[in-house]
Structure formats: C-alpha cells, structure tokens
Amino acid sequence: MPAIRCGTGTDVFTITLARELRRRGLRCEITWLPHRAEYLPWSVRAHAPPPWANVVHINSWLHGRFVPRDLPCVATVHLPLHRPTDRQDMGLLQRLYHLAWIRRLEKANLRRADAIVAVSRDTADAIASAGTPSDVLVVYNGIDLSGPLHPVPRSMPNRPFRLLYVGSLSRRKGADLLPAIMDRLGSGFELLYTAPARGRPPPLPRNCRAVPRTGSPDELAELYRSADALLFPSRREGAPLAVLEAMACGLPVIAANASSLPEIVEHGACGLLCAPDDPDSFAQAARQLASSPALWRMMRQAARSTVERRFSLRQVIDAYLSIYELTLGTADHAEQSRRGQTFVPRSESQNTGQ
C-alpha cells in the first residue's frame, strides 16, 4: 500500500485496513510517502514493492510513479471530483489544481486499475460521469465495533443541548455555516468543535468552544459520547468516518442533504437531513431534537443499529478480501489465456458491496 501521509481520513482508512488485513492473516505493508509526493512526485524516491507482494492497493490520487507496473492494482476513490458540482466549494486556485493535476492523476489510475472501488454510491456516480471504462464497486467505510466507539446509557440530553463538529474548518466541510447556525440557536445550545491543526479558528459565537484534537481512540470516543448530536453541514463527502464514528457512539446526525450523506443518514431515523447552505434548516433540526427527548432517544438507538447493520469494519474487510481475490484471479486469467491455459476461479463469491 503506497500512500501519501496527509493527516486526513484517508490515512485512517489505510492504517485501519492494513491492520485488519494482518489480523486476518495476510501480509500487508504500507509504504508512507511525504505529502509533497502529491504535487512534487519527482522529488520523492519511488520504492520497489516487497518481493512477496502480489497486489498493490492505492488511493486514486496517487501519482503513477509510485504504482508498481507488474502487480495487479486496486484503486479506492475516497472523494468525488469529476462533476462540476464536486468543485463548487473550491477556491479558484484549488479548482485549477484539481482540474489540471489531480483529475489527470486519478483518470490515469482508474485506467490502470484492475479493480476500482468507490466508498459511496455518489462517488461511484461521479466516476461514471467521467466515462470510466470499468465497473465500479461500492464498499462503504466501516467502524470497528469491538473498540471504544460505543454508546453509554443516557435518558436525557445535556442542557444546554450539546452539538459536536469534528473535522477541518474548511468550506467543503461547511464550517463557514457554523457561526450563522449557532447565532440562530442562542444560549440553549452549545457547540464543541475540534481546534484547527494550525492557525486560529474563525470567529464564532460565544456558545462555541474549541476542544483539542486527539489521536487517542478512547479520548475520541469520550468526546462523541459527551455530545448530544453531531452537526455535519458538509457539502461534499465520500463516506465520512466522523459520521460513522458518531453514530457508533449513539449520536443522531444533523447533516446536509447532499453528496453521499443521504446514503448514510436516514432522515427521521438516525438523524435529520437539512437543506444545504441553509443555516435556518440546521438550526430548526437542532431545535427539533432538543425539544423531544423521546425522538432523541429513538435516533440514538437507530444510529448505533445502522452502523451495526451496514457499516461494520468486518463487512469492509470481507469485501476487500473478495476484491483482492477477484483481482488476482483476473490477473491469473489474463496470464493463463496468453499461455492457452484454462482459468479456474479461486472463489465463486464476488460480493463486494453492501
């Protein structure tokens, strides 16, 4: 797994996948590359794969310099990029960078890949809109349900009602909407938000409080459990881990009805979907939850059960094992066809989605 370390959810995805594959008895190694490998790939040495490796698994944005040519390749697409609407939240320079560079890298990887995986149906649709000449498999991200991400018994929400925002304070994540939402909610609500990794946070109302970022799973779980609902006004997502982590801890999610979020958050069951870019819609949803403890308790239970049913890490690992096996079988088939041999599938199971 050659991967660029960039401090985002894709790092967590790679680390978690590699760890769980090892637990299943597979040999798996991550080759970490510095962040500059994304925009200055020729300044970073390309490592040869280990001699035992027989599949390479990459993020679709990785430069081809780091993708071994003699191994079957699985490419995972984490964020939709190809449609014009996927770039609306970007500034001009970022839009030009993605159009001129990242999109070109991704298209080359998708042509090269033996298997393409999208982390949501919305992401798969974005890939299809670019005319990708291959089937796209959908495997949602998943949560380790045996770890600290679990709910604790609670019968009533906090007073004031406590919202939690987890993620970078970027426009894509909808952080620019937080001041207007919290202004409308007033003193009966408070917002905990993760402090930016560098620099100062934007001006926010007095009912907002920064909490330190943490890499500790136990501390992160405690942060989720201390809140009453996750506030997630993001405009564009692949399959956000923060939403799944919050739901695993029993938090209802107040999210934008946009991108992949309706695939994860069922409106009226485990959360409330709001009109994108509409602070009034988000404020109304928060008031609805705070004013009805019975609804809040019902959504807490539904949030956890949804993760157990659809987004467990076990399901993700099962899916990727099937994809690796299918990819190896396809490569064997091509090689055996060149030699005039008959291909016998390694497995009849190709159930790679959810």
Q: Where are the domains of the chain?
A: 2-142+313-338, 161-310
Report pLDDT for 13. 94
Band of residue 287 on the pLDDT scale cut at 50, 70, 90: very high
116-127: pLDDT as tens digits: 999 999 999 988
| Percent of all residues in the chain with a pLDDT value above 90, rounded to a whole number | 75
CATH superfamily of 2-142+313-338: Glycogen Phosphorylase B; (3.40.50.2000)
Q: What is the pLDDT of residue 348?
A: 33
pLDDT tops 90 at residue 351: no
CATH architecture of the domain covering 161-310:
3-Layer(aba) Sandwich (3.40)
Confidence of residue 284 (pLDDT cuts 50, 70, 90): very high
Q: What's the token pair of residue 321?
A: 């094992």
* Cα–Cα separations (whole angstroms), residue 345 to 36, 156, 316, 320: 40, 54, 22, 17
Mean pLDDT over 79-100 rounds to: 85
The arithmetic mean of pLDDT across residues 106-132, rounded, is: 90
Query: Strand, coil or helix: what is 189?
Result: strand
Instruction: Report the pLDDT averaged over residues 182-207.
Output: 88
Is there a cis peptide before residue 160, judged by omega within 30 degrees of 0? yes
Task: State the Cα–Cα distance between residues 66 and 100, nearest whole angstrom.
Answer: 19
Say if residue 354's pLDDT is above 50: no
Confidence of residue 346 (pLDDT cuts 50, 70, 90): very low
Alpha helices in the chain (DSSP H): 9-23, 36-39, 92-97, 103-112, 121-129, 178-185, 217-226, 241-248, 261-264, 279-290, 293-310, 313-338
DSSP string, 257-322: S-TTHHHHS-BTTTEEEE-TT-HHHHHHHHHHHHT-HHHHHHHHHHHHHHHHHH-BHHHHHHHHHH
Q: Which residues is 144 bridged to in the sheet?
A: none
**pLDDT value at residue 332:** 53
Looking at residue 99, its pLDDT comes to 86
pLDDT band at 198 (very low <50, low <70, confident <90, very high): low
**3-state secondary structure at position 59:** strand
Selection from 245, 148, 230, 236 nearest residue 191 by Cα: 230
> What pLDDT is attached to residue 100?
87
More confident residue, 352 or 100: 100
Mean pLDDT of the chain: 89
pLDDT at position 129 is 82
pLDDT tens-digit series, residues 6-51: 888 899 999 999 999 999 999 999 999 999 999 999 999 999 999 9
What confidence score (pLDDT) does residue 173 get? 93
The pLDDT assigned to 1 comes to: 97
Q: Is the pLDDT of residue 303 over 80?
A: yes
Q: What is the pLDDT of residues 144-167, one digit of tens each?
A: 999 899 999 999 999 999 999 998
Q: Are strands 161-165 and 136-138 parallel, antiparallel or unpaired?
A: unpaired
Domains 2-142+313-338 and 161-310 belong to one CATH topology? yes
Per-residue pLDDT, 213: 83
Q: Which residue has better confidence, 59 or 200?
A: 59
Q: Is the pLDDT of residue 294 over 80?
A: yes
pTM of the shown model: 0.88
Separation CA 351–CA 354 (nearest Å): 8
